[in-house]
Chain A
Amino acid sequence: MSFISIEFAVLLVLVLLLILVIRNATARKWILLIASCSFYAYWDWRFLGLLIFVTAMDYFISVWLLRSPNPRARKIMLVTSVTINLAILGFFKYFNFFTGSFNALLSSFGLHLPELNIILPIGISFYTFETLSYVVDVYLGKTRPARSLLDYSVFVTFFPRLVAGPIMRASHFLPQLDRGVQFSRENFLRGAQFFGQGLVKKVAVADSIAMMTDQIYSIPWIFSSETVWIGVLAFGVQVYFDFSGYSDMATGVARLFGFELPVNFNLPFTSRNLTEFWQRWHLSLSLWLRDYLYIPLGGNRMGKARTFFNMFLTMLLGGLWHGASWNFVLWGGAHGVALGIDRAVSREDLSREWSFLRDGWKGLLVFAWIGIACVLFRSPGMNVAYLVTRKLLFIDPLGVDWFFFPAIFYTLVVVFGGFVLRAKKIDLAHIDVRHPHVLPLIAAQYLFAFLFAAGGTSPFIYFQF
């Protein structure tokens, strides 16, 4: 069930009405849980069992971890949980990737592993990371376990961010759940503001650009090099607005119930270098990788060479997290190398105030690099990535010139709009929505999305992960 569907609107209204009528805190949690399971089952009910299994397993392990005084047994339980979680993720997401790669490599020796017809359970990458971090945090004593299986189930399945994040930490959500569902005029307006903002980002901007970039990445060889450049750069904005639009909508829906989700994007194209970019792009994943992969690997505490290696490995695995294909591995690897170079070369003081004149061009460089690296991210196969790259290098410059006006227009608005917001220190998330005069501006977002929605709404890019 997509956020942009009648079915979701019906579910949302129903849940809101029920929660308004029923005041009991536990009953409200049950309503949220049932709504979340219905939301998930609507995609594919067969995987609801898997979600329930993972949730129950990690909850009981965390309870056991809390009660057990035996360090060795605790460690075994932690390893068991991590192994099962990763095995499930690995089987559903990576089994065919590894067997396919193995077969391609060793088929000449007569070796062949069977490939299975596996459907990827939606949201598995997101909820697996959440349950993993929960168990690890409980083990380390960084977070307290959920008060009940019901609380923990609501945390894992909370429907606004179940299928595509942001990746939540228990320490962020469980205290909010203790406070319970909180209705207020401010929450409602803030939720409406975020949802409208996400709607505009998705249906008006990202989907309009998608109409162009889909062409570029389908049949790149028929377009001129200049046209391919436009499409490649615009895709950076598309993926940003597609995903941040989803995050905004998720934040908006969660806010209707009084819950705050972690911030996932913070004007990433105003970044002064790549280090800053990853502190502003898909923050919930970046922080997860930092806390549960990069730092345990040693972080930057073990010398320069090891720091670069840790960074590279983290980005490589981050790439693989996005999808089971060599494109994503290479994409992650490219970012790992670029980040290493950036770390070695850049002397940027990120605590310094951002200035339009001094830092704008750096933002443009970061933006250009993200677009170029996205060739690997977006291409349906390595052959297409190769063809697009040839066009970018003007090796095959001839082809149809297409102006792609909406893509250019939206790209300029998004990039330079970001500059203005950062230079003027405008934070749209903190506008005082209680003022009546903000209402027309919130309504204008919905009107804009309705009037300027692209012809067809494409699925959210991050749903496939």
Chain B
Amino acid sequence: MKSNPPFSKINFSSARFRAALWSLIVVCVFELSIRTLVIRPAMLAFDAVWGSAPIEGACSFHALEGFGTTCYAGRNEVQTPFNSGLPVVVLGDSYTEAIQVDNAAKYVSLTEAALRERGWDVNLINLGDSNRTIADFVYMAPEIIARYAPEIVVIQTNQSGFFDSLNPRRINYFALQADGELKVMHRDRKEWPLLAQNVIHTSGLLTLTAVRWNQTTEAIPAGDESPTDPTRAAPAHLAQEVAQLVAAYPNSQIVILIIPGVPILFPDKINPGWENPNDMEVLSALTQAEKISVVYPAPAFKELYKKYGVFPRGFFNSPPNYGHLNRYGHIAVAETLTAALDALLKGAR
């Protein structure tokens, strides 16, 4: 082993230059690796409804779960294969935006293609955006109706989509009034200036740092788990939230798509009954609601596993059946949704 020189022998002017050089090398290696292997974000523009959203034609690359390239048609619309026909707006969260898979493999695109194959001239508009809840969909309703005048509104959600709607720390949330009714509230989004956002989004390293920072700092504090937290009281208000949705889109047929939380992989078994108690709670409230259709693709998920031995969630670079839908999951959801929309369109005819 070579021994280190005495401290006094170190040439610091040269060493500082090398320090700067090495810093640059480290940053470049990180940036290149991240842009190639992890994330390449899209450029943003400001939108009154969506806040900062990807600009038209922007594409982003993600490899945090699977590999997927998602291109946008502006205003956060994820591109679908067809752009004309009967407008069907699909609102949802990250399961609908589905950055993990390419545009053509997302369930919205697959459903659109399948419906067209069945002879329906429909245009499915994918407005999936990570972290959205029912309160967002209600607040955005006037703008969405004005933009798209949808015949059908598909709302993809799950239990947290309903429960988190009552979280007052969100941009849009339901506040419980004195008379027991829910009222949608809006807070102005505290965002960084668009230029700063775009600088961050130009760099994979800065974007991933921001993602990690948010994950670290946005962990729910213990206080929010208290029984007095409004989101804990949410189950009692499920029906009211559904009623708000129906009222927000008075001229559209509403289809609620619940992404099943199944199969659950327990430490020692796979859930035998293929029932997720969280889903069941939401479904029981929805089945009592009027003017909505409910789509629940759990049987398709079960068939995927039983027949083909594949899970609807998880990717080759993430744990099995955890996280977002993989391409099999999107196919299963699309099959179920296509059948439901097909029946709805036939009924409307």
A249 within 8 A of B: no
Residues of B14-68 at the interface with A, using a CB-CB cut-off of 8 Å, are 15-16, 18-19, 21-23, 25-26, 30, 34
Contact status A441-B265, CB under 8 Å? no
From B15, B22, B23, B320, give the contact of A400 (CB < 8 A).
B320
Contact status A427-B1, CB under 8 Å? yes
Residues in B with CB closer than 8 Å to A401 are: 309
From B22, B212, B265, B269, give the contact of A215 (CB < 8 A).
B265
Closest-CB distance, A1 to chain B (whole angstroms): 17
B4 within 8 A of A: yes
A contact residues, range: 35 or more
Residues in B with CB closer than 8 Å to A450 are: 209, 212
Contact status B15-A218, CB under 8 Å? no
Residues in A with CB closer than 8 Å to B19 are: 435-437, 439-440
Known: A398-B309, A430-B1, A451-B34. A437 touches B319 (CB 8 A): no
Query: Bound complex: CA of A450 vs CA of B320, how far in Å?
Result: 24
Contact status A437-B7, CB under 8 Å? no
Query: Bound complex: CA of A148 vs CA of B10, how far in Å?
Result: 41
Known: A219-B265, A400-B309. A436 touches B16 (CB 8 A): yes
Known: A443-B26, A453-B212. A222 touches B270 (CB 8 A): yes
B192 within 8 A of A: no
Known: A400-B310, A400-B311. A215 touches B320 (CB 8 A): yes
From B1, B22, B311, give the contact of A437 (CB < 8 A).
B22
Query: Bound complex: CA of A212 vs CA of B18, how far in Å?
Result: 40
Closest-CB distance, B207 to chain A (whole angstroms): 10
Name A432's closest neighbour in chain B (CB-CB).
B4
Closest-CB distance, A221 to chain B (whole angstroms): 9
| 0/1 interface trace, chain B 293-317, chain A, CB 8 Å (1 if under) | 0000000000001000111001011
Residues in A with CB closer than 8 Å to B16 are: 436
Residues of A382-417 at the interface with B, using a CB-CB cut-off of 8 Å, are 398-406
Known: A437-B15, A437-B18, A450-B209. A403 touches B316 (CB 8 A): yes
Residues in A with CB closer than 8 Å to B317 are: 403, 405-406
Query: Bound complex: CA of A444 vs CA of B33, how far in Å?
Result: 13
Residues in A with CB closer than 8 Å to B30 are: 444, 447-448, 451
A142 within 8 A of B: no
Residues in B with CB closer than 8 Å to A214 are: 319
Residues in A with CB closer than 8 Å to B325 are: none
Name A384's closest neighbour in chain B (CB-CB).
B268
Question: Between A and B, how many residue pairs show CB distances below 8 Å?
Answer: 87
Query: Bound complex: CA of A437 vs CA of B20, how far in Å?
Result: 7
A211 within 8 A of B: yes
Closest-CB distance, A209 to chain B (whole angstroms): 11
Known: A398-B309, A437-B21, A437-B22. A219 touches B268 (CB 8 A): yes
Name B320's closest neighbour in chain A (CB-CB).
A402
Contact status B267-A218, CB under 8 Å? yes
From B268, B310, B319, give the contact of A211 (CB < 8 A).
B319
Name A212's closest neighbour in chain B (CB-CB).
B319
Residues in B with CB closer than 8 Å to A75 are: none
Contact status A436-B18, CB under 8 Å? yes
Known: A219-B270, A450-B209, A450-B212. A405 touches B316 (CB 8 A): yes
A434 within 8 A of B: yes
Residues in A with CB closer than 8 Å to B209 are: 450-451
Name B316's closest neighbour in chain A (CB-CB).
A403
Name A404's closest neighbour in chain B (CB-CB).
B316
Closest-CB distance, B28 to chain A (whole angstroms): 11
Contact status B7-A440, CB under 8 Å? no
From B22, B205, B265, B314, give the contact of A218 (CB < 8 A).
B265
Closest-CB distance, B76 to chain A (whole angstroms): 26
Residues of B236-288 at the interface with A, using a CB-CB cut-off of 8 Å, are 265-270
Residues in A with CB closer than 8 Å to B26 are: 440-441, 443-444, 447
Query: Bound complex: CA of A437 vs CA of B23, how far in Å?
Result: 8
Contact status B320-A435, CB under 8 Å? no
Query: Bound complex: CA of A432 vs CA of B18, how far in Å?
Result: 14
Name B322's closest neighbour in chain A (CB-CB).
A211
B71 within 8 A of A: no
Query: Bound complex: CA of A299 vs CA of B15, how far in Å?
Result: 52
Contact status A440-B22, CB under 8 Å? yes
Closest-CB distance, B146 to chain A (whole angstroms): 40
Query: Bound complex: CA of A170 vs CA of B102, how far in Å?
Result: 60
Residues in B with CB closer than 8 Å to A425 are: 1
Query: Bound complex: CA of A443 vs CA of B29, how far in Å?
Result: 13
Closest-CB distance, A41 to chain B (whole angstroms): 21
Contact status A219-B319, CB under 8 Å? no
Name A430's closest neighbour in chain B (CB-CB).
B1
Residues of B303-346 at the interface with A, using a CB-CB cut-off of 8 Å, are 305, 309-311, 314, 316-320
Q: List the 3 closest A-B pairs by CB distance, nearest first.
A: A403-B316, A437-B18, A436-B19
Task: Supply 13 further A-B pairs (C-beta < 8 A) apart from A436-B15, A447-B26, A451-B34.
Answer: A212-B319, A214-B319, A219-B265, A219-B268, A402-B320, A403-B316, A405-B317, A406-B317, A436-B18, A437-B15, A440-B19, A443-B23, A451-B212
A-B contact pairs, 8 of them (CB 8 A): A211-B318, A400-B309, A430-B1, A435-B15, A435-B19, A436-B16, A444-B26, A451-B30
